Amino acid sequence: MNWRFENFELDEAKFELRSAGLPLAAEPQVLSLLIHLVRHRDRLVTKDEINETIWHGRFVSDSALASRVKTLRRLLGDDGRQQRLIRTVHGRGFRFIGDIAENSPAPAPARVKVDEHPAAAIEAPVNKPSIAVLPFRLVGIGGPYAGIAEALPDELIAELSRLRWLFVIARGSSFRFRSASADLRDVGARLGVRYCLSGTAEISGTRMMLAVELADTRDCGVVWSERYDARLDDVHSVRETILSSIVAALELQIPLNEAQRARLVPPENLDAWAAYHLGLDHVFRFNAKDNAIAGALFEQAIAKERGFVRAIAGLSFTHFQNAFAGHTPDFSEQAAAARRLADEAVALDGRDPFANLVMGRAHWLASDLEGSFGWLERATQLSPNYAQGFYAWSWAEALAGIADAGQEHSDLARSLSPLDPLFYGMLGTRALAHMSRGEFEEGAVWAERSARSPGAYKMNHAIAVAAHELTGNHERAAAWADHLRNTSPEFTGADFFRSFPFTDKPAKERMAAALARHGI
């Protein structure tokens, strides 16, 4: 459904608010609130109803609701005094009072039912990864919780639909496969999808056990699986955690599986999406050789599909990495290329989280941490389970001395993606957050974990040197300094601070002094 009021257009299907035809950046909860108020504009919407709709019954303070309403009014050019579009009924709730023109989308062309001609029923994009989320199978007597077996998959469809790189089959089609013995190849053929997410919800006494499985419909192989356990009286409060965990896992596991399959294809025969996913696999190995391979694969993807936003963003990321990690000596040229490609990606699709992330990182290379915050925050607003977005945001916050937020976002990134290829960096961010607060002992613990993690490289080793030196553990600091000199003999303190543009001056001075004491 589309609604028009004043110069705004609210597009429910695209989950988008436009002004004069241009999309506006809006937090998901704020946009959900607007949609609910507009849909029920003929009556008062109570605070309890908003709580149930927006926060799924989870307790939130009145100030949290007031903040969302204030943000929404600001987005619409309204305020609490004028109440031109949103009226407050004190102590009770809110009502949308603007004049609305309603546009229903044109009816879709008639399609053959899924059950009649399976292969022709639904056509997903040819090369884009696609998924069907099936209703979960209920085991046991669910009683008042029986609906969870369909409620969770329904919410998963909504959340996964926000991933710009993934084609998600609508509930009306995927929920036709309710049989416990549904054949995955049949699901793939009928719905035209590469992946299928299924699960069981088992009610036993006072607990619910949820088992979830992601399978590749092309060979019926299990790509990922997980189990969750929750008390029935707490199931709704942990629902958001379960949803976030599943979405974040799929955002990591599907690209990894796509990259693994792409390796079996001759390079010259890779389609755009296969080249892109294989490029992602190389770029996150964070070394010069793999970064160069990733760049070539992203360029191949762009050549095969002009305007491929994610591949353009990936290419921007390779230039960021060249500058940040010092893979090449031309820092300024690489930084400029990262920004140019980020500009191009955002211009093509400003709602793609990866495009916003690389734009934030391009600002970082220009020592504009403050300028990076808005882009990195927007990346996580567009995709609330985007671990890489929260990770990059936490780095920027730690360097700016915003230690509490940096620690919170670092922890969230790790919880969303516990097997992330850049997990060592997430640990390093937590270390910097502690060091920024003067908590050197805690910082040293996290720095040590970071430096010892698989994939850790010179930046993490330098943080370990400084962290241990600041605790007075000169011996451990010297050991990491020796390791750094052996593995990266040309690395200097100037290189470190060029890549990490601290705006927290006291923290930078402490770090510089600690590194200098070990000849770095």
Cα distance between residue 32 and residue 38, in whole Å: 10
pLDDT band at 103 (very low <50, low <70, confident <90, very high): low
In this model, does residue 105 exceed pLDDT 80? Answer: no
Q: Give residue 106's pLDDT.
A: 43
Between 234 and 399, whose confidence is greater? 399
Whether 109 has a pLDDT exceeding 50, the answer reads no
Which of 102-111, 379-388, 403-412, 509-518 is predicted least confidently? 102-111
Domains 265-384 and 401-520 fall in the same CATH topology: yes
- Name the strand (E) or helix (H) holding 19: strand 16-19
In contact, 136 and 281? CB cutoff 8 Å? no
pLDDT over 70 for what percent of the chain?
A: 92
Task: Please state which CATH number belongs to domain 118-254.
Answer: 3.40.50.10610
Q: What confidence tier does 62 reach under pLDDT thresholds 50, 70, 90? A: confident
pLDDT at 110: 36
Domain segments of the chain as ranges? 2-103, 118-254, 265-384, 401-520
249 versus 444: the higher-pLDDT residue is: 444
Residues 272, 295 contacting (CB under 8 angstroms): no
Q: With bands split at pLDDT 50, 70 and 90, how would you rate the model's confidence at 212? A: very high
| Choice between 110 and 394, residue whose per-residue pLDDT is larger | 394
146 pLDDT higher than 80? no
Give residue 107's pLDDT band: very low, low, confident or very high (50, 70, 90): very low
Per-residue DSSP letters for 172-231? HHHTT---TT--HHHHHHHHT-SEEEEEEEEEETTEEEEEEEEEETTTTEEEEEEEEEEE
- Among 90-99, 315-324, 341-350, 386-395, the range scoring the smallest mean pLDDT is 90-99
Can you give the pLDDT at residue 448?
97
Output 266 or 408, whichever has higher pLDDT.
408
Strand, coil or helix: what is 310? helix
pLDDT for position 112: 33
Q: Which amino acid is at 392?
A: A
Whether the predicted pLDDT of 237 surpasses 50: yes
- Residue found by looking up tokens 């500009």 in the block: 343
Pairwise CA distance, residues 475 & 117, whole Å: 71
Please determine, for residue 116, whether its predicted confidence score (pLDDT) is greater than 50.
no
What is the CA angle 379-381-383, rounded to 5? 70
Q: Among 61-75, 88-102, 105-119, 446-460, which is the least confidently predicted range?
A: 105-119
pLDDT band with cut points at 50, 70 and 90 for residue 371: very high
Q: Please indicate whether residue 453 or residue 101 has the higher confidence score (pLDDT).
A: 453
- The model's confidence at residue 204, banded by pLDDT at 50, 70 and 90, is confident
Amino acid, res. 352:
D
pLDDT of residue 60: 60
Highest averaged pLDDT of the listed ranges 70-79, 271-280, 460-469: 460-469
Is pLDDT at 98 greater than 80 in this prediction? yes
Residue 57 confidence (pLDDT)? 57
Question: Predicted confidence band at 121 (pLDDT cuts at 50, 70, 90)?
Answer: very low
Residues 6+ apart with CB under 8 A from 106: none
In this structure, what token pair is assigned to residue 68?
């969302």
pLDDT computed for residue 55 by the predictor: 65
For residue 450 the two structure tokens come to: 């970071």
128 pLDDT band (50/70/90 cuts)? confident
Percent of the chain with pLDDT over 90: 47
Euclidean distance between CA atoms 204 and 140, whole angstroms: 7
* φ and ψ of 200, to 5 deg: -130, 145
Q: What's the angle, vertex CA 284, arms to CA 280 and CA 288, rounded to 5?
A: 105
> Is-contact 518 469, C-beta < 8 A?
yes
CATH of 401-520, one of 1.10.10, 1.25.40, 1.25.10, 3.40.50: 1.25.40
**Rounded distance between C-alpha atoms, residue 114 and residue 197, angstroms:** 18
pLDDT at 113 over 70: no
Q: What is the CATH number of domain 2-103?
A: 1.10.10.10
State the average pLDDT for the chain.
Answer: 87
Q: Identify whether the C-beta of residue 53 lies closer than 8 Å to the C-beta of residue 36.
A: yes
What's the pLDDT tens digit per position in 267-301?
Answer: 888 889 899 999 999 999 999 999 999 999 999 99
Between 3.40.50.720, 3.40.47.10, 1.25.40.10, 3.40.50.300, what CATH number should domain 265-384 receive? Answer: 1.25.40.10
The pair of structure tokens assigned to 372 is 């990076």
Query: Is residue 151 predicted with pLDDT exceeding 90?
Result: no
pLDDT value at residue 190: 86
